[in-house]
Amino acid sequence: MELNQFEPMMFFAKGCKYSSLSYVDYEEVKSSEIIRYDQSLLLLHKKSNDLSEIHYATDDLEELLDSIRTSNLKGLIKFIPFDTIGQFEFYDFKIHCVYQDYFLNNLNIASKSLDTKYEIKFATLEEAKKLSDISQACSGLSRGFFGETEEWIRDWLIENEIIVKYINGKLVGFCCVSIYTEGTMLWIRELAVHPDFHGKGIGKELMGMAIQYGLSKGAQKSFLAVDIDNKTAIHLYEYYGYEAKVNEIEVQMLKI
């Protein structure tokens, strides 16, 4: 797909009632095959050795599902409306994960839960392989999580930061952070601790570092998303004051 094709597609998607493309950029879909693009449906298929993805925009989910069936498409599809899960299950899709948005409305209040003032260290591009290895070692520990590639880590570091935790010279965990909404919002994109170091409080420490980092950048609030079945992570986030935003749920479904 060429960039001059992508831009009008995004314009079309913005006008649709249902879309998985609201938070997608060109780099994420440029290798996708255009299955259908007309006045009623945009359907893309991104093939992968790991997990193929289906992207869509439409006002008619039945037309989308029928086109997926006709084209014999398989893969992951995101941003399924919660009340339409049954329609997708009828077409052999299964729930992959259900992400819930969590918000922290006052970082200063959360800072009172910090055990100490942390010395924060940030990842370099040279550490991308080690970070990817940790992320992929956590694959499957949370529903829908398969770890990040070295390329993904490098791309993230171009515009954002990754906080790292070392123990005795060994990299054992990290937290991907970003500041957006004109500098007022801290986004915690991913937190991962190598399974060999679980239960040692490292995740709690990394979260504390992330909050401290956000405050140092002038952020006032924070946001993250977590699968509703990941009770361990939710307990950690709630410790720092994050609260679920009930109406902010992303359902991901998979057809294999």
**101-250 maps to CATH 3.40.630.30:** yes
Instruction: Examine the pLDDT at 115 and tell me if it is beyond 80.
Output: no
Cβ-based neighbours of 177, under 8 Å, separated by 6 or more: 160, 161, 162, 163, 186, 187, 188, 189, 210, 213, 214
Instruction: Examine the pLDDT at 1 and tell me if it is beyond 80.
Output: yes
Tens digit of pLDDT for each residue in 27-78? Answer: 889 999 999 999 999 999 999 877 899 999 999 999 999 999 999 999 999 9
Tens digit of pLDDT for each residue in 204-238? Answer: 999 999 999 999 999 999 999 999 999 999 999 99
Q: State the burial class of residue 252 (Cβ atoms within 10 Å of its Cβ: 0-12, 13-18, 19+).
A: buried
- Rounded to an integer, what distance in angstroms lies between the CA atom of residue 173 and that of residue 180? 23
Instruction: Examine the pLDDT at 112 and tell me if it is beyond 80.
Output: no
Tens digit of pLDDT for each residue in 137-165? Answer: 999 888 888 899 999 999 999 999 999 99
Pairing state of beta strands 161-167 and 18-19? unpaired
- Rounded to an integer, what distance in angstroms lies between the CA atom of residue 162 and that of residue 174? 6
- Rounded to an integer, what distance in angstroms lies between the CA atom of residue 29 and that of residue 54? 10
- Name the helix (H) or strand (E) containing 40: none
Q: If you average pLDDT over every residue of the chain, what do you get? A: 93
Tens digit of pLDDT for each residue in 158-213? Answer: 999 999 999 999 999 999 999 988 889 999 999 999 999 999 999 999 999 999 99
